[in-house]
Structure 1
Amino acid sequence: MSSNTDMKRLTRLSAILLQLQTKRIINSTDLAEKFAVSVRTIYRDIRVLEQIGIPITSMEGRGYSLTEGYKIPPVMFTQQEANALITAGELIRLNKDSSLTSAYKEAVDKVKAVLNYSAKDKLELLSKRVAVSPASLKEPTSSSLSLVQNALTSFTVLRITYQAEGKNESTERFIEPFAFYYSLQQHWTLIAFCRWRNDFRMFRLDRIKTVYLTDLKFLPHQLSLQDYLKEKEKNFISPDKPLS
C-alpha cells in the first residue's frame, strides 16, 4: 500500500473519529458517501478504530456510536481554525442577545486553553487586529437565547410573558420551542408552538419580558423548519413579521 493511500486512510479514520465525537449516531452508508469509498471500506475502518481501543457500539439497522460515558481527549485546533473563531467572535459581538455573546466568549477561552504558546501569541495578536465598526455595535436587547436553546433541545415547555408589537399589555404563554430565525432587522425570533393559540407562532426575543423553564415536557414536532418556512412563503407571510 502506498504512503499516499496510507495517509488518506489515516485522514479518513481521524474524520470518522471526529464524527463519532460530534454525533450521537453515524451510519456506514452516509460515511461511505462522504468519503467516496465503499461501505465495506467503512466497516474495515470501524474495526481498526475498535482494535486501537475506541469503544464503538454497533446498533443494528441504525449505525455506530461511542459507548456511553466514554470521552476522547480534546482535539487540538489548527492555527487557521483558531483564527476563524477569533474573527467570527467579532461578528458575534453584533448579536443583540447577551447570553449568546457570553457563551461564545467562554467557548473561545476553552479553545485558547488547548493551544500551544506560539499559537496563543498569534491569536492574541490577531484579536488586536480585528475590529467591527462601533456604529454596528448596539446594546443587547435580550438575554434569553441560551436558556431557550436548552429548552428546545430538551423538549421543555417554557412559560413566558410576551408583549406583541403594537400592544401595551403583556400576555402569559406556555410555549414549546421549535426553531430560531434571525430576521433582516437583526433580531432573534423564536418559532414555537403556542398552547394558548394552539398553533405555531413567532416570538421576538427582545419582546419576551420574562421566561421560565417549567417541569413540563413535550413530544418532538414532526414538522421541519424548512417546511415551516416554505408554508410561510406560500402564504405570503414574511418570517420577519412575527405573528403572536
Structure 2
Amino acid sequence: MENSETTRLSRLTAIIIQLQTKRLVTALELANKFEVSKRTIYRDIRALEHSGVPVITEDGKGYTLMEGYRIPPIMFTEKQANALILAEQLVLKNKDASFIKDYSEAIDKIKSILRYTVQDKVNLLADRTRYDEALHQERNSSNLSDLQYALTNFRLVCINYINKEGNSTERIIEPFALLSTENWYLIAWCRLRKEFRFFRLDRIQRIEIKPENFEPHKMTLQEYFDKFH
C-alpha cells in the first residue's frame, strides 16, 4: 500500500473516532485537525458512507453518527500490544509524576480491551522487561519485536550470534527476559552452553523463530537476578 493510501486509511479511522466521541463535528474542524482541505474531508465522508458507516449530515451544522452505531473495540495484534508495553517502560523513566500516572491509566484501559490470551502475554512481557536510561547511547536492534513474540509464546529461537571476539556461532535459545542498559540484551537459556546467557541484540546476525515450544522457566526476573547474580 502506498504511503498516501496508508495516510488516508489512518485519517478515515480517526474521523470515525472523532464522530464517535463528539455529538457533532464540522468539516472545517476535521480539516484543521488533519491538516487537509474541506474538499478532502467531503471525499472522506462520502467514502465512509459508501463503506456502510451511517454518517448523518446535518445541513449547515456538520456530521454525526447514527444513534447507537459503534465500531468494535480496537483489537491490537500481539506485536502491537508488545510495542505499547515497551513504550510504557520508557515512560516510567520520565520524571513527571502526573505524566506517568496519565500514561499508566491509559495503558490499563488499553489492556482491558485486549483478548485474555494477549493480556496474559503482555503482563508477562511487562514483568520480563527492564529498561534503564543511558544517555548518549544509541541502541541498535532489528529483532526486538520478534524476540518479544518468542518470549511470550515460549517459542525456541535459532540465532547466528557474533561474540565480542568476532566469532560466529549458531545457537538454539529459550528467551527469558529483555534488558536495556547501554544496549539491548536478551537473557536466554542457551542449549549449546546449557546455561543462561546474555546476548546483545545488535550482535544477532540472523534470527529464526522455531515452531517448537520450550517449557516456561518458573521464576520471575527478580528471582533470576537473586539466583544468578
Fold similarity call, TM over 0.5: no
TM-score scaled by length of structure 2: 0.41
TM-score scaled by length of structure 1: 0.39
